[in-house]
């Protein structure tokens, strides 16, 4: 069992920045951020492998940057130029490999972009 703990959410004005963190209880291969807005499905935001390969949703490319510190089992999401449509609960996700079926989830952290 892998436990994931997110932090860093909050209220920010449009155009502002936030950095989310996710600490894993073990060294795990693939980590990702998902988000879910009220009444919508949970969507992938960005992912990163232990080797540093990244993928981003088109809606966040150029604004968000995913990174990780393998020594600390920690993943980050730097979010810049935030928009109201980025408002959602952001979830940390992890799995042992890209082909693993089992996923682990954090409890989520709220990000609200509003003036």
Give the pLDDT of residue 89: 98
| Below-50 pLDDT ranges, the chain | none
Give the pLDDT of residue 98: 85
Over 71-112, what HEC string results?
HHCEEEEEECCCCHHHCEEEEEEEECCCCCCCCEECCCEEEE
pLDDT digits (tens, 9 = 90+) for 24-44: 999 999 999 999 999 999 999
Q: Tokens standing for 3? A: 């436990």
CB-based contact 45:57 (threshold 8 Å): yes
């Amino acid at each position: 069992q892998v436990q994931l703990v997110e932090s860093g959410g909050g209220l920010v004005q449009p155009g502002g920045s936030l950095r989310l963190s996710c600490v894993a209880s073990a060294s795990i291969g693939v980590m990702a951020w998902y988000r879910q807005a009220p009444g919508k499905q949970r969507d992938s935001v960005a992912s990163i492998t232990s080797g540093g390969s990244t993928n981003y949703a088109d809606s966040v490319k150029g604004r968000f940057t995913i990174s990780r510190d393998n020594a600390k089992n920690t993943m980050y999401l730097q979010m810049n130029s935030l928009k109201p449509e980025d408002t959602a609960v952001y979830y940390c996700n992890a799995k042992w490999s890209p082909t693993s079926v089992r996923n682990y989830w954090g409890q989520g952290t709220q990000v609200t972009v509003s003036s």
